[in-house]
């Protein structure tokens, strides 16, 4: 095998001096491998290993384990240095283990929503002192794994109990607690499970039971969340990198089935590292080969698992073994660190193929969390050395792991519902500016801001739910106002009618008085009529008397004559 590799290296140099493209070299390597029957000597059972048969880094020979830097001396020296640094940090941590600080914790922590936010937390559990060199890494890694497991279980239970698809998309995030609360002055970190804010709103809305007052309260809380987080992270101007970032050439998208590279020298490159493990539940059309590939140009380093296991106790080791394929020895397992394909401040960590884990598997392993913690400490130490400074500039701003649709959003195949496990270590700008040809060369120039997930959450809640509900609510509010105005006018009219009724009652009473007065007047008139009748009769009697007197006088006058 060694002779064969030497032959390949010599041939590569000849091709390189002749300025042949990498596609020619790939074609040559494929031809040589197909002609040499000894390249399969590391496979004891072809059927068992058929899912990984074309993974070029899975042999028993350590020289083949690091195929990505085989012809890059600088990368090879950097890899050796990083493994030495890894071992040194682990040795130091083991020396401190007897005096390190362990924190009591609940293996099954209580997980619930943060008040008025689509976030699950373990509010009763202590936070994580990531930056403290004296804290027990094993203890912290186990706590993180327990909380992650409890949060996963909570997500599944919410989806089952409520019918709201909380398990379709969610994100685990570990970052300083002071990021969310500027009044916190310590360096403690908090683990948070961010759920889809649209699903969170739907659950809150359903719990209102069609109560209009509760609806308005939920809308106000959702609006408050949007106003808080849509500009919570200051949007950065596009940075001008101090160094030109490395950009990989195009890679073939049909990496699992493509045969064109054997016939077309100018065909897009094929990755050396491809996960061909059968991934259960990764696609919606059945179990297929994973297909995760890593571009050589973006690989930063590998870290073997075995040294990290020295730091973890037996209980942790046993729980970790459950996530390891039985066909692979722990001596062969590695985590591999790569730059993001975008030129952003992101260091991505994968279980190196053929070791296949999903993100749900990954976050439940104390081994994964221990690796992340130790890597953080390594980056911090290397940055201090680079800058010759003891200043506590922590190089990692956050650790994020996506799930479901948030994980597969950029997948080339929309049938994916899961991916090969990976976590994003979001790096500080101060660290990225320090990267150059001598310091984490692959990361140089990748200074742009990572995605602002908080702003994205606020945007989706605004346009997928709140906008329509607020519009409906405004219409209902307008209708309610209109009905209220009508009701007020009706009340005013009722009051006016009551006043009219009262006035009419007064008029009625007055008319009754008038009637009584008229009746009295009538009676008086009747009496007057009677009196007038009496006067008339008296006048008639007087007239008669006057006539009698007249007759008598006339008679007397006649008598005298």
Cβ neighbors of 308 (< 8 A, separation 6 or more) are 86, 90, 367, 370, 371, 374
Alpha helices in 245-351 (DSSP H): 305-309, 314-321
pLDDT in tens, the chain (561 residues): 555 555 554 444 433 333 333 333 333 333 333 333 333 333 333 332 333 333 333 333 344 467 777 668 888 899 999 999 999 999 988 888 777 777 888 899 999 999 999 999 999 999 999 999 888 999 999 999 999 999 999 999 999 999 999 999 999 999 999 999 888 878 899 999 999 999 999 999 999 888 888 888 988 999 999 999 999 998 888 888 899 999 998 888 777 778 776 667 778 888 888 888 888 877 777 788 888 889 999 999 999 999 998 888 644 444 444 445 554 578 889 999 999 999 999 999 999 988 999 999 999 999 999 999 999 999 999 999 998 877 778 999 999 999 998 887 776 666 777 889 999 999 999 999 999 999 999 999 999 999 999 999 999 999 988 877 655 555 556 656 767 888 888 888 888 888 888 888 888 888 888 888 888 888 888 888 888 888 888 888 888 888 888 888 888 878 776
CB 301 within 8 A of CB 294: no
- Residue 7 shares a structural domain with residue 146: no
Residue 412 lies in a domain: yes
Q: Which of 296, 420, 277 is nearest to 26 (CA)?
A: 296
Does 142 reside within a domain?
A: yes
Handedness of CA 406, 293, 339, 367 (dihedral sign): positive
- 10 and 146 co-located in one domain: no
Tokens of 351: 């279980």
Domain finish residue from 454, 472, 490: 472
The contacts of residue 433 (CB under 8 Å, 6+ apart) are: 242, 447
Range of the domain at 299: 50-161+179-472
Which residues are within 8 A (CB) of 223 and not within 5 positions of it... i.e. 6 or more apart? 466, 470
Let me know whether 263 and 196 are in one domain. Answer: yes
Classify 356 as helix, strand or coil.
coil
Q: How far is CA 137 from CA 100, 107, 306, 314, in A?
A: 9, 16, 16, 14
Can you read off the two tokens belonging to residue 89?
A: 């940090």
Domain-embedded: residue 23:
yes
From residue 97, alpha-carbon distances to 75, 106, 199, 254 in Å are 32, 21, 43, 48
Q: Which residue has the tokens 């000849």?
A: 14
Residue 293, CA distances (Å) to 54, 333, 366, 422 in order: 12, 16, 25, 12
Q: Choose among 31, 39, 34: nearest CA to 3.
A: 39
One domain, residues 133 and 20: no
In-domain check, residue 457: yes
Alpha-carbon distances, residue 74 vs 30, 71, 109, 337 (angstroms)? 25, 9, 46, 16
Domain check: are 157 and 17 in the same one? no
Co-location of 97 and 190 in the same domain: yes
Residue 234's φ and ψ, nearest 5 degrees, are: -65, 130
Task: Answer whether 351's CB lies under 8 Å from 335's CB.
Answer: yes
Q: Are 413 and 392 contained in the same domain?
A: yes
Return phi, psi of residue 427, to 5°.
Answer: -95, 150
Q: How many CB atoms lie within 10 A of CB 456?
A: 14
Strands (E), 70-188: 112-113, 119-121, 169-176
Please report the DSSP string for 199-241 in residue order. HHHHHHHHTTTT-HHHHHHHHHHHHHHHHHHTTSSPPPPPP--
Same domain, 18 and 135: no
- Per-residue pLDDT at 475: 54
Residue 513, domain member (yes or no):
no
Report the domain count for the chain.
2
Other C-beta atoms closer than 10 Å to the C-beta of 338 total: 23
Tokens, residue 23: 């596609």
Q: Is the peptide bond before 354 cis (omega within 30 degrees of 0)?
A: yes
CA distance 306 to 320: 12
Q: Based on the domain organization, do 32 and 117 belong to the same domain?
A: no
**pLDDT given for residue 318 in this prediction:** 47
Decide if 523 is inside a domain: no
CA 482 vs. chain centroid, Å, equals: 39
Answer yes or no: is 501 within a domain.
no
- Helix intervals (H) in 230-339: 305-309, 314-321
Residue that has been written with the tokens 């929503």 in this structure: 113
SS3 439: strand
Query: Residue 332 domain-assigned?
Result: yes
Distance of alpha carbon 29 from alpha carbon 205, whole angstroms: 60
Of 257, 201, 71, the closest CA to residue 465 belongs to: 201
**What does 240-266 look like in DSSP terms, one character per residue?**
--SSPPP----B-S-TTT--GGGT-TT
Q: Which residue has the tokens 């930063």?
A: 300
Please choose, from the candidates 273, 433, 443, the residue with its C-alpha nearest in 3D space to the C-alpha of residue 346. 443
- On whether both 26 and 104 belong to a single domain, the answer is no
pLDDT at 263: 63
The last residue of one of the domains, among 420, 444, 472, is 472
Query: Are residues 151 and 15 part of one domain?
Result: no
C-alpha 360/C-alpha 423 separation (Å) is 11
Judgement on whether residues 19 and 139 belong to the same structural domain of the protein: no
How high is the pLDDT of residue 543? 84
Interatomic CA distance for residues 128 and 144, integer angstroms: 8
Tell whether the torsion through CA atoms of 13, 18, 24 and 28 is positive or negative.
negative
Q: Edge-to-edge strand order for the sheet containing 346-351?
A: 112-113, 119-121, 189-195, 169-176, 396-404, 423-427, 346-351, 334-339, 299-304
Nearby residues of 108 by Cβ (< 8 Å), 6 or more positions away: 146, 150
List the structure tokens of 316: 């942790």
Report pTM.
Answer: 0.73
Instruction: Give the model's pLDDT for residue 478.
Output: 62
Contact 373, 335 (CB under 8 A): no
Choose one of 407, 437, 472: the last residue of a domain. Answer: 472
Helix axes 73-96, 366-387, angle to 10 degrees: 110
């Amino acid at each position: 095998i060694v002779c064969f590799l030497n032959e390949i290296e010599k041939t590569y140099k000849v091709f390189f001096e002749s300025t042949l493209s990498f596609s020619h070299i790939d074609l040559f390597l494929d031809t040589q491998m197909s002609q040499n029957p000894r390249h399969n000597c590391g496979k004891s059972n072809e059927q068992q290993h058929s899912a990984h048969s074309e993974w070029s880094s899975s042999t028993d020979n350590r020289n083949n384990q690091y195929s990505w830097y085989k012809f890059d001396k600088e990368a090879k020296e950097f890899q050796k240095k990083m493994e030495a640094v890894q071992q040194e940090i682990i040795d130091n941590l083991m020396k401190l283990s007897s005096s390190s600080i362990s924190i009591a914790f609940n293996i099954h922590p209580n997980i619930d929503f943060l008040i008025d936010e689509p976030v699950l937390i373990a509010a009763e559990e202590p936070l994580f002192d990531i930056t403290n060199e004296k804290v027990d890494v094993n203890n912290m890694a186990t706590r993180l794994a327990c909380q992650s497991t409890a949060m996963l279980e909570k997500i599944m239970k919410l989806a089952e109990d409520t019918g709201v698809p909380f398990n379709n998309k969610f994100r685990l995030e570990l970052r300083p607690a002071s990021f969310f609360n500027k009044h916190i002055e310590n360096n403690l970190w908090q683990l948070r499970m961010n759920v889809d804010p649209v699903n969170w709103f739907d659950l809150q809305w359903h719990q209102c039971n069609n109560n209009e007052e509760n609806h308005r309260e939920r809308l106000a809380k959702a609006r408050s969340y949007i106003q808080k987080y849509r500009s919570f992270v200051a949007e950065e101007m596009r940075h001008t990198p101090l160094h030109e970032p490395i950009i990989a050439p195009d890679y073939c998208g049909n990496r699992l089935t493509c045969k064109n590279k054997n016939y077309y020298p100018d065909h897009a490159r094929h990755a050396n590292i491809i996960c061909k493990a059968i991934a259960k539940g990764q696609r919606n059309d059945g179990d297929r080969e994973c297909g995760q590939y890593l571009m050589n140009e973006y690989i930063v380093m590998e870290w073997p698992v075995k040294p990290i296991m020295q730091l973890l106790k037996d209980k942790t080791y046993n729980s970790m073994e459950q996530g390891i394929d039985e066909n692979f020895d722990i001596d062969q397992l590695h985590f591999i660190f790569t730059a993001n394909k975008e030129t952003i401040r992101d260091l991505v960590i994968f279980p190196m193929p053929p070791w296949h884990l999903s993100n749900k598997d990954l976050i439940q392993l104390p081994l994964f969390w221990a690796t992340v913690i130790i890597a953080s400490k390594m980056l911090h130490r290397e940055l201090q050395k680079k800058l010759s400074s003891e200043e506590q500039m922590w190089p990692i701003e956050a650790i994020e792991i996506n799930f479901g649709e948030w994980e597969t959003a950029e997948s080339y195949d929309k049938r994916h519902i899961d991916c090969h496990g990976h976590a994003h270590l979001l790096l500080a700008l101060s660290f990225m500016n320090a990267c150059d040809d001598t310091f984490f060369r692959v990361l140089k120039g990748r200074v742009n801001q990572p995605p602002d997930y908080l702003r994205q959450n606020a945007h989706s809640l605004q346009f997928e739910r709140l906008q329509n509900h607020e519009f409906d609510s405004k219409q209902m509010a307008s209708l309610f106002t209109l009905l209220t105005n009508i009701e007020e006018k009706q009340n005013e009219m009722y009051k006016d009618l009551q006043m009219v009724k009262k006035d009419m009652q007064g008029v009625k009473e007055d008319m009754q008085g008038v009637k009584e007065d008229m009746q009295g007047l009538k009676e008086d008139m009747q009496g007057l009529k009677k009196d007038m009748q009496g006067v008339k009769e008296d006048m008639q009697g007087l007239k008669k008397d006057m006539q009698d007197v007249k007759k008598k006088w006339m008679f007397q006058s006649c008598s005298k004559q």
